[in-house]
Amino acid sequence: MSSGGIINPKSWLFNDKVEAFNLFISLPSVQCSPKLVKSITSGESKTSVGSIEMGKSKIGRRFEGKVAIVTASTQGIGFSIAQRLGLEGASVVISSRRQKNVDEAVEKLKAQGIEVLGLACHVSNAQQRKNLIDQTVQKHGKIDVVVSNAAVNPSVDAILRTKESTLDKLWETNVKTAILLLQAASPHLSKGSSIVFISSINAFQPPAGMAMYGVTKTALLGLTKALATELAPHIRVNCVAPGFVPTHFASYITSNETKRKALEDMTTLKRLGTTEDMAATTAFLASDDASYITGETIVVSGGTPSRL
Ligand SMILES: NC(=O)c1ccc[n+]([C@@H]2O[C@H](COP(=O)([O-])OP(=O)(O)OC[C@H]3O[C@@H](n4cnc5c(N)ncnc54)[C@H](OP(=O)(O)O)[C@@H]3O)[C@@H](O)[C@H]2O)c1
């Protein structure tokens, strides 16, 4: 534990050895109920927190005939995004590092009637990135939506004490590989297609303990603006900045109800976000409903302060 009651998030996202999950500076660590986490990560079509029902009857079919790639999508926010796009008619291409996770996620999506291709793809692996695009194009002949969702936070060090190798890993996973994937995808992006980056509320005020991670998420806001200009008028580029969402990594700290309450109290809506909340906003930005929106970031944080 670090001082001030903050659990040291030595390895936060995308590390098997989850030590903590603190998103905001000076925030206590967070507890999420096993029931909530289960409903969010299991691929069930309903959430127990009542934000939305992702039953087929409650959502549209905005992605009929569309092909959507979502990176880091075998659980958590990425999985829910793939699920939402799929339930709305998209043929989805999901991926993550571990084949076993890919296979399990594919089965869950297929069970919901979703057309899905699953591939192992560590976003830092050039060959696997190429394979992801090649197989998608081979199977579907085009790409309509790319959701760039993968990220890492391997350090809690202050920025000026962060090792060069850690800086490299952060920039590579969180920013560079997103660009490289889009470079590979861009020749196949159809007219009217859409790109969505998953940033973080930490992009607006990178917190201590996650400062460099936050800065890489800030970079995605700039990347969104720059690529929106570069790819206009036929391709839109937008970004989602989630607030706190109890994903897989939050389960480590599910024993402390008090701390979870403190985090909920930081939100205006007095609850944590769900992966489905993030999926709904991502689907909106990726859809034609957002056809006059590009270069924008939507903060999905239940009213947690981020910016004016
Ligand atoms: N949860 C939050 O509170 C929160 C808040 C703000 C922003 N975000 C952002 O939301 C995104 C998703 O986070 P999450 O909370 O949903 O995470 P999560 O539940 O932990 O899911 C992580 C997913 O990414 C895959 N993955 C991990 N490393 C990968 C890599 N190098 N290449 C490809 N896939 C990889 C994992 O599968 P494998 O293990 O099989 O690779 C898994 O499917 C991230 O960009 C994160 O920064 C999250």
Ligand 1: distance of its center to the CA of 81 in Å?
A: 12
Q: What's the rounded Cα separation, in Å, for the pair 182 and 201? A: 23
Q: Verify whether ligand 1 is closer than 6 Å to residue 198 (CB atom).
A: yes
3-state helix, strand and coil shares in percent for the chain, rounded to the nearest 5:
45, 15, 40
Q: What's the rounded Cα separation, in Å, for the pair 95 and 102? A: 6
Cis peptide bond upstream of 233, omega within 30: yes
CA nearest ligand 1 atom 44, residue: 151
CA nearest ligand 1 atom 27, residue: 14
Q: Which residue has the tokens 């989850």?
A: 18
**Which atom of ligand 1 is nearest to 16's Cα?**
39
Give the model confidence (pLDDT) of 130-177 as tens digits: 999 999 999 999 999 999 999 998 888 999 999 999 999 999 999 999
Residue 77: is its pLDDT beyond 60? yes
CA nearest ligand 1 atom 17, residue: 76
DSSP assignment string, 246-269:
--GGGGGGTT-HHHHHHHHHHSSS
pLDDT value for 221: 98
CA nearest ligand 1 atom 43, residue: 74
Ligand 1: distance of its center to the CA of 233 in Å?
A: 30
> 207 near 214, Cβ under 8 Å?
yes
Of 213, 244, 249, 252, catalytic: 213
Residue of 12, 14, 18, 39 best suited for mutating to test ligand 1, as the one with most atoms within 8 Å of CB: 14
Identify which has the larger pLDDT, 30 or 199.
199
pLDDT value for 305: 87
Beta strands in 121-243 (DSSP E): 143-148, 189-198, 236-242
Q: How far is CA 201 from each of CA 5, 91, 166, 301, 303, rounded to the nearest angstrom?
A: 21, 29, 21, 7, 11
CATH number of the structural domain 3-300: 3.40.50.720
What is the average pLDDT across 284-289? 98
Q: What's the rounded Cα separation, in Å, for the pair 251 and 116? A: 28
| Mean of pLDDT over the chain | 83
CA angle 83, 86, 87 (to 5 degrees): 85
Q: What's the rounded Cα separation, in Å, for the pair 83 and 92? A: 8
What is the average pLDDT across 82-107? 98
pLDDT value for 53: 52
Q: Verify whether ligand 1 is closer than 6 Å to residue 294 (CB atom).
A: no
Our answer to whether residue 292 is catalytic in this structure is: no
Q: What's the rounded Cα separation, in Å, for the pair 277 and 130? A: 30
Residue of 11, 13, 297 best suited for mutating to test ligand 1, as the one with most atoms within 8 Å of CB: 13
> 153 near 12, Cβ under 8 Å?
yes
Residue 251: is its pLDDT beyond 60? no
Instruction: Assign 16 a pLDDT band (cuts: 50, 70, 90).
Output: very low
Residue 255: is its pLDDT beyond 70? no
What is the average pLDDT across 82-111? 98
Residue 210: is its pLDDT beyond 90? no
Q: Domain coordinates of the chain in residue numbers?
A: 3-300
Give the model confidence (pLDDT) of 20-75 as tens digits: 333 332 333 322 333 333 333 333 333 333 334 554 446 899 999 999 999 999 99
Please report which helix (H) or strand (E) contains residue 276, including its range.
Answer: helix 275-286
